[in-house]
């Protein structure tokens, strides 16, 4: 299964809201801006996209709007996982139907399944679609870690499982995963400070929330490495570090949406139980963004 087009900076776009409804025009505008600034791919309804705050109809509509906005310019990788197996199947089949290039399938959250449960969940969905599937390991949100042996079992049963997004701060785990699966397996960083390091050990790229504010710079970390310009990529990695930290002053995507609103890209709106940042953290974020001339 061809996967070379799925490498690089795949940007996790936030779901834009206005007056309680999905703001489709703002979502399209964000996607266009990202592609114009060098994004290698687009993802929606991942963690940054507040998927658990969307109705099923809204989530599938976001996929449709994103697909139309992308218009084949870059790969489209929507998040289709859920802690509800039947919903995960539905989202995945629908995404394939509308022309997604790959699926991002999160480990079920809240349920805290065993490794056997994860194996059955992932293979149960992946076996029902015919496009590439990227597993999404984010223990901080799901309270469960997808172990390398489980990934290997899933891949053996479902060859269309071609990679993992690792939002796991345990860099030893990521090394062991790549060693177990081989460097042709697509392993992406979902941890901003590991985007550059993961490329050094054979990673395929990253889904970094920072790209929402610094799209070109984030993409260029990958571009410079691909060009063999490792020192330049490393300096860019450190240049971005303060902003990488700042977007997590509070839970993602609240700081990202705050920053995008200050930049005039979107209307700030999140859904409960999320809410606006504290005044103190807003001031801290504003100071960092001003250092990058973003506002």
The first and second tokens of residue 250, run together, are 């509070």
* Strand-pair category, 17-18 with 21-22: antiparallel
What is the DSSP-derived secondary structure letter of residue 76? Answer: B
Helices (H), 99-147: 115-126, 139-142
| Residues acting as catalytic residues | 136, 165
CA distance 97 to 82: 18
24 contact partners, CB below 8 Å, separation of at least 6: 16, 61, 65
CA Rg value for the chain: 18
* DSSP E strand stretches across the chain: 8-12, 17-18, 21-22, 41-43, 103-106, 133-137, 161-166, 186-189, 205-206
CA atoms within 13 A on the CB side of 294: 26
Cα dihedral 287, 282, 188, 54 in deg (nearest 10): -150
- The backbone region for 277, taken as left when phi is positive above 0, alpha when psi lies in -120 to 50, beta otherwise, is beta
CA distance 250 to 271: 15
């Amino acid at each position: 299964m061809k996967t070379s087009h799925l490498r690089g900076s795949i940007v996790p776009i936030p779901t834009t809201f206005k007056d309680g409804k999905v703001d489709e025009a703002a979502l399209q505008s964000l996607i266009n801006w990202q592609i114009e600034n060098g994004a290698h791919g687009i993802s929606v309804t991942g963690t940054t996209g507040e998927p658990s705050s969307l109705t099923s109809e809204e989530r599938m509509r976001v996929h449709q709007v994103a697909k139309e906005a992308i218009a084949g310019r870059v790969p489209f990788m929507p998040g289709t996982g859920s802690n509800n197996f039947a919903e995960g199947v539905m989202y995945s089949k629908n995404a394939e139907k509308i022309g997604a290039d790959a699926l991002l399938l999160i480990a079920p959250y809240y349920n805290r399944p065993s490794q056997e449960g994860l194996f059955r969940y992932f293979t149960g969905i992946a076996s029902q679609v015919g496009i590439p599937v990227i597993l999404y390991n984010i223990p901080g949100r799901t309270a469960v870690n997808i172990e390398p042996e489980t990934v290997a079992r899933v891949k053996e049963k479902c060859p269309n499982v071609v990679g993992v997004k690792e939002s796991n701060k345990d860099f030893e785990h990521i090394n062991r995963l790549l060693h177990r699966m081989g460097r042709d397996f697509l392993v992406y960083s979902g941890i901003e400070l590991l985007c550059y390091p993961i490329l050094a050990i054979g990673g395929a790229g990253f889904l970094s929330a920072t790209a929402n504010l610094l799209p070109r710079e984030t993409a260029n970390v990958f571009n410079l490495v691909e060009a063999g310009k490792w020192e330049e990529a490393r300096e860019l990695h450190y240049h971005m570090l303060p902003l990488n930290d700042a977007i997590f002053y509070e839970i993602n995507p609240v700081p990202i949406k705050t920053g995008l609103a200050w930049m005039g890209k979107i209307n700030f709106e999140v859904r409960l139980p999320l809410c606006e940042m504290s005044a103190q953290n807003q001031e801290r974020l504003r100071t960092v963004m001003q250092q990058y001339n973003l506002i």
